[in-house]
Amino acid sequence: MLRVELHGDVTRFEMSSATSRLVGYTASAYLIRGTLIDCGFHAARAHLDAIIERERPDGVFLTHYHEDHAGNVERVARRGIPIAASAETMNYVRSPAPIRLYRRMTWGSAPPLRSVVHAFQSDRLRLVPSPGHSPDHHVVWDESEGTLFGGDLFLGVKVRIAHPGEDPRVLARTLRAVAALGPARLFDAHRGYVPNPVPLLVAKADWTEEMIAAIEQRIAVGAADSVIVRELFGGESFPGYFSGGDYSRTNFVRAVRRGMGSNGERATAAASQGCSPTADG
């Protein structure tokens, strides 16, 4: 299914497959002044082909390599449409890693990029590094209009679910840095149009840091991941079970545990002093 929304100079193309709708997921590409932001997932390749035939974009920006955002990059390159993406993203899409069954069912497996890529440049749009969700994640920023195409940066304020490669600490810093750009509007790859996004980006950074602190305290006193998930998040989520733990609340806790390092000393000290940061949700 392809659903089209108009937001002034921005067109949203919300794509879904029967399976993605069954589990409640869609993914969007955006068109602004002849430039396409992301190219959708491979199971929706017919939608992407229709968008290209209708809009004839001058070029495509990729926010990151995940298959729901760059799943049709080979189709784009094969048509000779120029592409703007980070070197890291291009390396990923040229040699995509195997993905789990639930991702293949939901989005389809992205064919590797084999065609020659022509580099794309825009006078008004630029890629801004925004790691955390993935190492190669970028947002697309239009400073002249205050428009931010956020990829998977935002998704919501209280996002308790993580892929194995996510880093909540890096994400919190990124959220503050992107909020400092002062975007007037945000176009999220899954939530759609988000007006007045700065307070929401800051709120997500605040909440993420509060959760990190709460998780660190429990780790410092020896709590198991399953106990932390139950105490702070109310247990594992449906996506966590559906994905076999690959996209889960448990992974959020594990990411905090992996990244503790010297922060572990701070968490241990806080726990010994009886500090307890609040965690909403």
- Torsion 188-194-195-196 (CA) sign: negative
Based on the fold, state whether residues 138 and 218 are members of the same structural domain: no
> Among residues of the chain, what percentage have pLDDT more than 70?
93
Average pLDDT score over residue span 112-139: 97
What per-residue string of b and e applies to 37-51 under the rule 16 or more CB within 10 Å gives b?
Answer: bbbbbbbbbebbeeb
- pLDDT of amino acid 204: 98
Confidence bin at 236 (pLDDT 50/70/90): very high
277 within domain boundaries: no
Burial class (CB in 10 A: 0-12, 13-18, 19+), 115: middle
157 and 232 share one domain = no
| pLDDT at 281 (0 to 100) | 33
Strands 138-142, 125-129: pairing is antiparallel
CATH code, domain with 53: 3.60.15.10
pLDDT digits (tens, 9 = 90+) for 51-98: 999 999 999 999 999 999 999 999 999 999 999 999 999 999 999 999
pLDDT at 270 over 60: no
Parent domain of 235 = 209-272
Question: Picking from 20-24, 78-82, 86-90, 261-265, which range would have the lowest pLDDT averaged per residue?
Answer: 261-265
Q: Is 215 helix (H, G, I), strand (E, B) or coil?
A: helix
pLDDT of residue 269: 40
Q: Cβ distance 270 to 217 under 8 Å?
A: yes
* Strand arrangement of the beta sheet that strand 192-195 belongs to: 125-129, 138-142, 147-151, 185-188, 192-195
Does 225 score more than 80 pLDDT? yes
Number of domains comprising the chain: 2
pLDDT at 263: 45
The chain-wide mean pLDDT, for the chain, equals: 92
pLDDT greater than 70 at residue 273: no
How far apart CA 29 and CA 51 sit, in angstroms, is 10
The stretch 138-154 carries a mean pLDDT of 98
- What's the pLDDT at 278? 27
The answer on 195 and 177 residing in a single domain is: yes
Do 167 and 238 share a domain, yes or no?
no
Task: Give how far the C-alpha of residue 88 lies from the chain's centroid of Cα atoms, to the nearest Å.
Answer: 15
Phi then psi for residue 25, to 5 deg, are -115, 140
- The amino acid occupying position 116 is V
Domain co-membership, 157 together with 125: yes
What is the rounded distance in angstroms from the CA atom of residue 200 to the CA atom of residue 145? 19
> Does residue 40 share a domain with residue 149?
yes
pLDDT in tens, 155-201: 999 999 999 989 999 999 999 999 999 999 999 999 999 999 999 99
Sheet holding 83-84, edge to edge: 2-7, 10-15, 27-32, 35-37, 59-61, 83-84
- Which pair of tokens denotes residue 33? 């002044």
Instruction: Tokens for 30, please give them.
Output: 């955006």
pLDDT of residue 186: 98
**pLDDT tens profile 33-52:** 999 999 999 999 999 999 99
Instruction: With 0.75 as the threshold, say if the pTM is over it.
Output: yes
Same-domain pairing of 143 and 195? yes
Do both 222 and 179 map to the same domain? no
Q: How far apart are CA 192 and CA 272, in angstroms?
A: 44
* 217 and 203 inside one domain: no
